Amino acid sequence: MTLLIDAKLGAVAAGIATLESEFLAHVVLPGNRTVLDALEPIIETAYRSGRYPAPGDSLLPLIPE
């Protein structure tokens, strides 16, 4: 775990990645869900259907109920 985080921070320090891009999946959204939790079903559906989700469709699961 230490090596992974060190590598991510090293990439940010070197300017080849941003902090946001390295840790985006772990950002916690309102409703205590991570970005990955919110987007994973959308990505899964896109692969199964072969269709890119429409912007309106992809935002609905991000709104906590």
Q: pLDDT category, 43, cuts 50, 70, 90?
A: confident
What's the domain range around 65? 24-65
pLDDT at site 16: 97
Q: What is the pLDDT of residues 18-42, one digit of tens each?
A: 999 999 999 999 989 999 998 888 8
Residue 43 covered by a domain = yes
Cα separation, 26 vs 40, in Å, equals: 12
Residue 63 counted as domain residue = yes
Tell me how many domains the chain contains.
1
Contact 37, 27 (CB under 8 A): no
- Tokens (6 digits) for 4: 């992974």
> In b/e form, how buried is each residue of 19-35, taking b as 16+ CB within 10 angstroms?
eeebeeeeeeeeeeeee
Global pTM exceeds 0.75: no
